[in-house]
Chains A and B, each alone.
Chain A
Amino acid sequence: MPAKKHPKIESRAQNFARALQQVFGRGFGPGFWLAVVWLLIVAFCALFADWLPVRDPLDPVIANRLNGPFTSNLLGADGLGRDIFARLIHGARVSVVIGLTAVSIGMLIGGALGIIAGYFRGHFERALMAVLDVILAFPWLVLLLALVAFIGQSLFAISVAIGFLWIPAYARVARANTLSVVQREYVLAAKAMGASTSRILIKEVLPNVILPVLAYGLVAMGLVIIVESALAFLGLSVEAPQPTWGGMISEGKRHLATAVHVAVIPSVTMFLTVLSLNFVGDRLRSRFDVKESNL
């Protein structure tokens, strides 16, 4: 008995439009889109900071010292008379680079370990989880300080150090998702078909694990930015005079009594960015979860 055909054949374009709508169209609300727009602006600034028509972030103009917003400088100037707006834009680069690199390192290594542990189980899984638990139990700041002291204070070194800290979290997320995917019968069906283990991992497991891991990555990126600012506060982030948001807040604290804006403006920028990352990551994650359970 043939199944009833679909009443109308949809064109590829319609199909695509509907798929887009399913992922992004309904239920996200304006807040989600505002967050996305903010993140796009931050990413744009980070990419094109050198070409944007802003002042030199490193040029101290003594006359402008601690000027408030909308005076000589759009968002005021800091204790050395440097333009805060320009420094924010150039500082975005550090936040974005550290965020992306650290998250990628964590995601690649942690994700791969998690998938392997979840798929093969056994001794490897037990050993890995034990090691990860030890790392998680270690005070992260101490570990980070040790790592930075060991590999140095360059942008890359700091990214690697923070990324290392994130491996356990990603491994856990990837492992949990892999465990649930492996129980699905399509994995069994692929085995029955003669699929090799690598094919099963790449074609069946990975596509189902990667989306929740990516969504988690956005949330993690927000935390990475905060971790960077904590390092900056301790003077262990990227070395001066390179502007970073964390460094700017740290410098601003000296002027809190006289010129609040020096610390507040980078704080608000960072707050909005982290909030946006969490918001977008969370919404995407719940969307993927719903899709799983809806199936």
Chain B
Amino acid sequence: MRQSEHKESNASLLQVSNLSIRLNSAAGLVHAVEDVSFTLKAGQTLGIVGESGSGKSVMARSLMNLLPRRAVAQRKGSVLLSGREISTLSERELQRLRGPDIAMIFQDPMTALNPVLTICVQVSEPLQQHLGMSKQAARARAIELLDAVGIPDAVNRIDQYPHQLSGGMRQRVVIAIALTCNPSLLIADEPTTALDVTVQRQILDLLTGLQKERHMGMLLITHDLGVVASRADFIAVMYAGRLVEVAPANTIFKSMQHPYTEALFNSIPRINDASHTRLQAIPGRPPQLHNPAPGCAFAPRCPYAQQRCHRETPPVVQAEQAEHLHACFYPVSAPVALGGVR
């Protein structure tokens, strides 16, 4: 039903243009998201990579209007979901979107689940509410969904409470809940950060598998380049509220343009490097987001920064390759050798 719609609207599922969000805080206005634009097509995955405080989670939450109203001081720009502007919708209209159109997965599966309700109640509630299913039908569908997200013995597990499940299983339940209404867009905000490496791999495989199978669009938000490298179609790197580089995944690792992307990539310890290899740390620390200084936010930490970088904010421009955007006056031109990088 919904599937066929998606295949036709292959143009753009989510189009964010010039999104800026300022938040109130004790220390003044926080420029959490600055002039962010990107497009996500149905059936594609966009990986958004950034450190804590880069604004990636604020942006993700603002897409679903989940930021506390009092916190948002200013919001500019437009968010089109399947061609429909959603940033101006009322709370009631948004509620109807959440579930059937956008669903979200959070970092901590324990807090995302209600500890006093059984898995069955939590998975079948949106089925009854949004799709008007009967209790019996919803339960049957919930078991199917739990099966689909790889929960063994779903028939029996469905009546358990969240605390009876392991972290990985809980995250699977959260994913099942997100999938209940067949969303066209899935936002996964650090879905594996709280999990162990071995479980992380399972959950990521599950997410990408489901995304392909259901032809969903997926925003995969993470601080770990490794998580998105082999799973996203596009990768967007966020720094101090701005997207500093956006490119197809296989392009970005071969020809990084923005010095921050390069520095981030180089600072990660590699499993193939010898022990005690000196890491290329990025000096300094991420900037404060209130009262940002003029110029490029990365300039104070950037080895290539020139005078101009401290004065003007670099605009987003097109690199040589198609679909490769970056915001740097002096892009790192030399392609990075990829030999055996892991």
Pairwise interchain contact A4-B26, C-beta atoms closer than 8 A: no
Q: Do A4 and B285 touch across chains, with their CB atoms under 8 A apart?
A: yes
The one of A1, A3, A27 in contact with B26, judged by C-beta atoms closer than 8 angstroms, is: A27
Q: Contact size class for A? A: under 10
- Whether, in the assembled complex, B284 has its beta carbon less than 8 Å from a beta carbon of chain A, the answer is yes
**Interface presence of A123 (CB below 8 A):** no
Chain A residues within an 8 Å CB radius of B283: 1, 4
- Which of B26, B281, B285, B300 is within 8 Å of A26, CB to CB? B26
CA distance A27 to B25 in the complex (A): 11
A282 CB to closest chain B CB (Å) equals 19
Residues of chain A contacted by B284 (CB below 8 angstroms):
3-4
Q: Which 7 A-B pairs have the closest CB atoms?
A: A4-B284, A1-B281, A26-B26, A1-B283, A4-B285, A4-B283, A27-B26
- Closest chain A residue to B279, Cβ basis: A1
Further 8 A-B residue pairs, CB within 8 A, beyond A3-B285, A27-B26: A1-B281, A1-B283, A3-B284, A4-B283, A4-B284, A4-B285, A4-B300, A26-B26
Q: Which residues of B contact A (CB under 8 A)?
A: 26, 281, 283-285, 300
Binding site for B on A (CB under 8 A): 1, 3-4, 26-27
**B300: A residues at CB distance < 8 A:** 4
State A4–B299 Cα separation when bound (angstroms): 14
The answer for the CA separation of A4 and B26 in the assembled complex, in Å, is 24
Taken together as a complex, chains A and B put the C-alpha atoms of A144 and B206 apart, in Å, by: 64
- A22 nearest in chain B by CB position: B26
Which residues of B lie under 8 Å from residue A4 when comparing CB positions? 283-285, 300
List the B side residues contacting A27 at CB < 8 Å. 26
In the bound complex, what is the Cα–Cα distance between A27 and B300 (angstroms)?
A: 33
User: A25's closest neighbor in chain B, by CB?
Assistant: B26
- Bound-complex Cα distance A24 to B285 (A): 29
| Minimum distance in angstroms from B28 CB to a CB of chain A | 10
Q: Which residue of A lies closest to B285 (CB)?
A: A4
A1, A26, A27: most-surrounded residue (chain B CB, <10 A): A1
CA distance A67 to B300 in the complex (A): 76
Least CB separation from B282: chain A residue: A1
> Residues of B contacting A1 with CB < 8 Å?
281, 283
A135→B131 CA distance, assembly (Å): 54
Minimum CB–CB distance from A18 to chain B (whole Å) comes to 11
Chain A residues closer than 8 Å to B285, beta-carbon distance: 3-4
Q: Please measure, in the bound complex, the distance between the C-alpha atom of A1 and the C-alpha atom of B285, giving whole angstroms.
A: 12
A/B interface sample: 10 pairs, CB < 8 A: A1-B281, A1-B283, A3-B284, A3-B285, A4-B283, A4-B284, A4-B285, A4-B300, A26-B26, A27-B26
Closest to B26 in A: A26
B266 to chain A, nearest CB (A): 13
Minimal beta-carbon separation of B281 from chain A (angstroms):
5
Smallest distance from the beta carbon of A30 to chain B beta carbons, Å?
Answer: 18
With the chains together, A1 CA to B278 CA distance in Å? 11
Q: How far is the CA of A3 from the CA of B285 in the complex (A)?
A: 8
Q: Chain B's nearest CB lies how many Å from the CB of A177? A: 23
Which residues of A lie under 8 Å from residue B26 when comparing CB positions?
Answer: 26-27
C-alpha spacing A26/B283, complex, angstroms: 33
- CA–CA, A3 and B281, complex, Å: 11
Centre residue among B26, B283, B285 by max chain A CB count within 10 A: B26
Q: Which residues of A contact B281 (CB under 8 A)?
A: 1
A26 to B284 alpha-carbon distance, docked (Å): 30
Identity of the chain A residue whose Cβ is nearest the Cβ of B300 in the assembled complex? A4
CB of B210, distance to nearest CB on chain A (Å):
35
B73 to chain A, nearest CB (A): 15
Find the B residue at minimum CB distance from A26: B26
In the bound complex, what is the Cα–Cα distance between A174 and B67 (angstroms)?
Answer: 35
B302 to chain A, nearest CB (A): 13
Distance to closest chain A CB from B269 (angstroms): 15
What is the chain A residue whose CB lies nearest that of B27? A26
- In whole Å, how far is B293's beta carbon from the nearest beta carbon of chain A? 10
In the complex, what distance in Å separates the CA atom of A262 from the CA atom of B214? 77
Give chain B residues whose Cβ lies under 8 Å from the Cβ of A26. 26
- Nearest-neighbour CB distance to chain A for B26, whole angstroms, equals 6
In whole Å, how far is B321's beta carbon from the nearest beta carbon of chain A? Answer: 33
CA distance A26 to B27 in the complex (A): 9
Q: How far is the CA of A26 from the CA of B28 in the complex (A)?
A: 11
Residues of B within 8 A of A3 (CB): 284-285
The residue of chain A having its C-beta at the shortest distance from the C-beta of B284 within the complex is A4
A1 to chain B, nearest CB (A): 5
In Å, the complex CA distance between A242 and B49 comes to 72
Distance of A218 Cα from B26 Cα, bound (Å): 25
Query: Among B281, B283, B300, which residue has the most Cβ atoms of chain A within 10 A?
Result: B283
CA distance A27 to B281 in the complex (A): 39
A244 and B300 alpha carbons, distance in the complex (Å): 66
B67, chain A: closest CB distance, angstroms: 18
Q: Closest CB-CB distance, A10 to chain B, in whole Å?
A: 15
